[in-house]
A and B are shown apart, each in its own frame.
Chain A
Amino acid sequence: MRTPKSPNKKMPFYIMSLPSLIMYSFFFGIPVISGIYYSLTDWDGMSKEFNFIGFKNYLHSFQDDRFWNSFLFTFKYTIVLVISVIVISLIIALLLNTNIKGKGFFRSIYFFPAVLSLITVGLIFNQIFYRVVPQLGELLGIESLQSNILGNSELAIWGILITNIWQGVAMPAIIFLAGLQSVPKDLYEAATIDGANMIQKFQYITIPFLIPMLSINLVLVVKSGLTVFDYIVAMTEGGPGRSTESIAYIIYQQGFRQYQFSYGVAQSIILLIVIVMISVIQTKLLSRKEVGQQ
């Protein structure tokens, strides 16, 4: 008697699921499907008439330098972001999990960047790169830092990355910390009695317990990297030239500013396919290594 069997008794459950089902279909399902449809047309977003053109938008995208440029930028950005954020947040979590005084205080300061808005943080760092870093560069005698690095098409990506890492490690660090605190203490004690050293304990006890946290964090950081938008708007607006245009940024530009609506939609669907592929690979790789599953 886990669930009531007669249709009459199941009725309340159907009613309970209706608000979510209706809203989700209306404001999410319809846009996704109409997006797929628009991507096969030549609509500019304004005019009343448009034609069905098949996969031309997709083919055109793959021959478009601007699209490849933003694709490469986004991938480079995401790879550096994921590696730095995962490593730094894991180190922070390990440090915060040691026997130190003022743990609660450290934890609240380290989490603090996560509550701020990305646009404000981007604008603050924009000012820092504009006014503070050049002064530091002069002080230290490093030539490449003496002018605003956001104005340099080679270095601008690093300025945005530093900002994103500054803010982006906070949430993963707290999630890792929660994972570390869920490891039973007696496992470490038993390992110590068996003569395991610190590295062995980390490798065979800590890491398996952290795998679920690692997969949550990877999903969060990969998605935030592949869809980076706010920092770009706040810090470079895609410049200098087109050196920092992310995929999310060109989709926005083409859809709302440059009357290439259906073209932008087609590129957003390419982005979707890439994200789904990465997610599938990620879950397959990580699900094998979880605690209790060999």
Chain B
Amino acid sequence: MNKTKLSLKIVIYTSLVLGLLLILFPMYLTIIVAFKTPAESAENFFSFPKQFYLENLKTVVCSDNFIYFLINSIAITVISLIVIIFFVSLCSYAISRNQNSRYFRFLHIYLLAGIFVPFQVIMLPLVKFMSGMNLTNQVGIILLYITLANAQGVFLCVNYLKSIPMEMEEAAHIDGCSVYRTFFSVVFPLMKPILVTLLIMDALWIWNDFQLPLIMLNTSSEQWTLPLFQYNFKGQYSFDYNLAFASFLISMLPIIIVYALLQKHIIGGLTDGAVKS
């Protein structure tokens, strides 16, 4: 019995470590190649750099307005998220507490329909529509992220709100709180777990999104986000792969830092709200 348990343990650890190596290998490669000179990596692609050669990274950061792309990405993500959290929680609260109203039942189904509609369906008409209003810019893309986040957000939040007992709201109502006051001081705090889940999902989506920036912002380089920079930088490194890996490293660096600092909260936050609802 003990022997089978021990061998089972060995199998578990070996497979976990093998998976770990598979995940880390591309990252290892990215880091070492980014820090080597072309001559050094021609000699041996896999070896650790003898000295940390910083020119590749410098070229990437200086060649384009890298800092602007970083700021664009941060601004678009943060502004969208703040508005998403408010709009989605307000609308979900109104829907979940008015299930006997025909308007709110319709609104619920109308918003959920968006889950099934792939982005490609609205992509082409959307671009014509947005450029007609001079909105193929960062303001326009923020408006679109706010809109597109509604479907999944309302789905998660309405489910979650249905599981929250209404006694607290009723007490607040009897004490004379208005609906708004009840929402902001009672319901909103209760929604924290699901809103954290939503925040993380949407943050990862908006930060890493490529298709929407590609069709909305690609024409002027001042508006690029990090994924768009990464895509357009392709043309500059066709022969210099050290430069290529340096650009991969640099555009991943912000999210790697955030993940290293917050990984427990990110994974916990993602699953807590999702499992409960």
Which residues on A are within 8 Å of B, measured CB to CB?
A: 1-4, 9-10, 12-14, 16-17, 19-21, 23-24, 26-32, 34-35, 38, 45, 91-92, 95-96, 98, 100, 104, 106-121, 123-125, 127-128, 131-132, 135, 166, 174-175, 177-179, 182, 216, 223, 226-227, 229-230, 233-234, 247-248, 251-252, 255-256, 261, 264-265, 268-269, 271-272, 275-276, 279
Contact = CB atoms under 8 A, between A and B. Distances in A.
B87 A275 contact: no
B127 to A, nearest CB: 8
A27 B234 CA distance: 32
A271 B241 contact: no
A13 B116 contact: no
Nearest to B276: A182
B138 interface: no
A20 B26 contact: no
A112 B117 CA distance: 28
Contact of B263 (A108, A120, A135): A108
B212 to A, nearest CB: 11
Interface residues on B, range: 35 or more
5 contacts: A24-B114, A34-B125, A117-B207, A229-B120, A256-B124
B215 interface: yes
Contact of B107 (A17, A119, A124, A177): A17
Which one of B20, B24, B125, B128 has the highest number of Cβ atoms from chain A below 10 Å of its Cβ? B125
B271 A174 contact: yes
Nearest to B8: A98
B110 interface: yes
B123 A115 contact: no
Interface of B: 9, 12-13, 15-16, 19-20, 22-24, 26, 29-30, 45, 87-88, 90-91, 93-95, 97-98, 100-101, 103-104, 107, 110-111, 114, 116-129, 143-144, 146-148, 150, 154, 166, 170, 173, 178-180, 183, 204, 207-208, 210-211, 214-215, 226-227, 230-231, 234, 241, 244-245, 248, 251-252, 255-256, 258-259, 263-264, 266-267, 270-271, 274-275
A255 B45 contact: no
Given A120-B230, A124-B30, A177 B166 contact: no
B12 A95 contact: yes
Contact of B227 (A13, A115, A120, A132): A120
A123 B248 CA distance: 8
A166 B228 CA distance: 22
B208 A118 contact: yes
B116 A279 contact: yes
A6 B213 CA distance: 46
A17 B180 CA distance: 12
A92 B211 contact: no
B126 A27 contact: yes
**Which of A104, A135, A275 gathers the greatest number of chain B CB atoms within 10 Å?**
A275
B95 to A, nearest CB: 7
B29 to A, nearest CB: 7
B100 A107 contact: no
A27 B143 contact: yes
A121 B255 CA distance: 13
Contacts of B97: 2-3, 13
Given A13-B98, A131-B241, A271-B120, A123 B12 contact: no
B270 A19 contact: no
B126 A95 contact: no
Contact of A255 (B103, B118, B124, B258): B124
Nearest to A130: B241
A233 B25 CA distance: 23
B208 A117 contact: yes
B48 to A, nearest CB: 16
